[in-house]
Structure 1
Amino acid sequence: MVRRIVPGETGPTGGPAFTDVLGVCTSWSDGVCVVQPSSGTAVEIPIELIVSGKPVPPRPSMRLRVSAREAESHSEAIWPGVERVALGDWELRSDPHPVGRLIKRANSVLAMGDPGVPFDEALEGLREFYASRERPVMAQVEADSSIESALRDEGWTELERGEAHFQLIALSRLRRTLNLGDSESPGDSESPRFEVADATVTVELPHAGGRATIDGDWLGLHGLHVDETARRQGLARRVLRELVDWGAEQGALTAWLHVETDNAAALTLYARLGFVTHHTCRYLAPGG
């Protein structure tokens, strides 16, 4: 941000008038500072008129400004058959027909926001909900939130592998990155197998695969896997490229995913692609 004198004008106190320009400094030479605002044309400022300047951190993108509760709501489209019961802002979730292990996101209370009732009453309500369905009680919370603190005060503890980052990226940026240097992928020799059901597409290649689900203009990436014997060959990027291209055709603007915090290989891949962490969530269960 640059503050400059406005020649020929008087300020409210009778002295010189000042104005501020906010943007990126693109040039500082020949006695002129050039600042490019977020929109419009660049502003040329004679250096002799500059009173002060200071660095200002970039404003977070709109994607990063949504709440954790709102961001997590985009998971709903991944499991359309899950039973969901509102408890204020909280959401009790149970998959009536699970296949294999219970997926935590689909079988826990999303405990973010205000439950709308006293805390003890909210806990009793979720215990009754899961007991009636013969399911263990689990809560998904925003890491280090007041709700996590309150549950821990009640004796709740973190589940094994119970922490995950919610990461996101602009879909346009992800497409550009994935389309760089894609000729060496061994999967290019075979066409991927596509299967589309409702809002979800499944992509399968030999030794790799993944799914993506569209919810409004958000694309959730999930189920990405590569056989251990075929890793470090570009297959994950190939699968992601196919999923993201499909998402772009559906009008998606943001891509997101959950990644467990102890999955070093996945975290490295997503960091290289440009994903950033929006928030971290933890899964807790009552002690004993």
Structure 2
Amino acid sequence: MNAPETLQVACSRAWPPPVVELLGEWRLRWADGFTGRANSVLAVGDPGRPVPEALRTVCDFAHDRGITPMAQVVRDSPTERAIAAEGWVEAKGHRRGHEVVVLTRPSFHVKARPPGGSFHVKVADEPTPEWWELTLGRDEDSEAARAVVTGGKVGYGVATLDGVTAGAVRGALVDGWLHVGRLEVAPAFRRRGLAKALMAAVHTWGAEHGADRAVLEVAEGNSGALALYAGLGYAPHHRYRYWVPAPGSCEDSTS
């Protein structure tokens, strides 16, 4: 695999769904609909069979588990061109944006600096109920979602003020990478430097646990997040897109 594909596999392992089945080097994933990353095929590497046959297997896997067939593919790669040639289309209806930028930071050996005010920021080994409330929407919270978020070696960053959880972030360790996700600041506490403080804390946690580089994934249209991460030393590594079958081209063979 080339560098973008290798990093995509690492990111997938940092966000592990309850069900993963290999299709050659492709990864079929299910998490009861929680996020595109955990409910699509990671189409990188060699599927071990012709692409049309591989996509038929993707359809069958998804239909058997009640999710929409979808492929996560490195943008402008030969695999993306092959999938497009089979009549699949960009998943422009994907709720969080179907085009994603993968950002990396090669070094983050920094110490967390407290934000202004009386906030306390730390990274814990277990999520608190308030952490869950802030990072998972009511329509997302499920057994499968919690399995994804808690899978692997994970640190749960929290920022508190007088016992109130004001912000949260997730850090996961895989292959020397710190994978950062689920950064959230409660509306009442925004624009006070909490996001930067949470990022500094999770960077420090990652370094303390042996990570020497960081990666995160941001929707292409999320200009605020992209600006924040650029200011923290992150730069684009590559991009990926989600693809789905054209209407009527991937019918459930069991129906």
TM-score range, shorter chain: 0.7 to 0.9
Task: State the match for 1:239 in structure 2.
Answer: 198
Identity level (%)? 33
Task: State the match for 2:87 in structure 1.
Answer: 155
1:75 pairs with 2:29? no
SS at match of 1:157: strand
1:136 pairs with 2:72? no
Select 1:85's aligned residue among 2, 5, 21.
21
- Distance verdict in 2 for CA 1:191–1:140, change over 3 Å: closer
Number of equivalences: 214
- Distance verdict in 2 for CA 1:83–1:246, change over 3 Å: same
1:280 pairs with 2:246? no
Question: Which structure 1 residue ranges, 5 or more long, are not aligned?
Answer: 1-64
Deviation at 1:250, TM superposition (A): 0.6
Contact 2:30–2:39 (Cα < 8 Å) also in 1: yes
Select 1:203's aligned residue among 138, 152, 157.
157
Residues 238-277 of structure 1: pairs in structure 2 closer than 5 A:
238-277=197-236
Deviation at 1:155, TM superposition (A): 2.5
1:194 pairs with 2:194? no
Q: 4+ residue stretches of structure 1 with deviation over 6 A? A: none
Bigger CA radius of gyration? 1
- Distance verdict in 2 for CA 1:187–1:266, change over 3 Å: farther
Give the letter aligned to residue 8 of structure 2: E
Contact 1:112–1:141 (Cα < 8 Å) also in 2: yes
Deviation at 1:130, TM superposition (A): 1.2
Question: Which structure 2 residue ranges, 5 or more long, are not aligned?
Answer: 127-149, 160-164, 248-255
Higher relative contact order at CA 8 Å, sep ≥6: structure 1 or structure 2?
Answer: 2
Deviation at 1:162, TM superposition (A): 0.2
Task: State the match for 2:101 in structure 1.
Answer: 165
Q: TM-score, normalised by structure 1?
A: 0.68
Give the letter aligned to residue 82 of structure 1: P
Task: State the match for 2:51 in structure 1.
Answer: 119
Q: TM-score, normalised by structure 2?
A: 0.77
RMSD over aligned CA atoms reads 2.2
Task: State the match for 1:3 in structure 2.
Answer: none
Once residues 284 and 187 of structure 1 are traced to their aligned partners in structure 2, the CA distance between those partners, rounded to angstroms, is 45
Cα shift readout 1:30-63 (whole Å, capped 9, x = no counterpart): xxxxxxxxxxxxxxxxxxxxxxxxxxxxxxxxxx
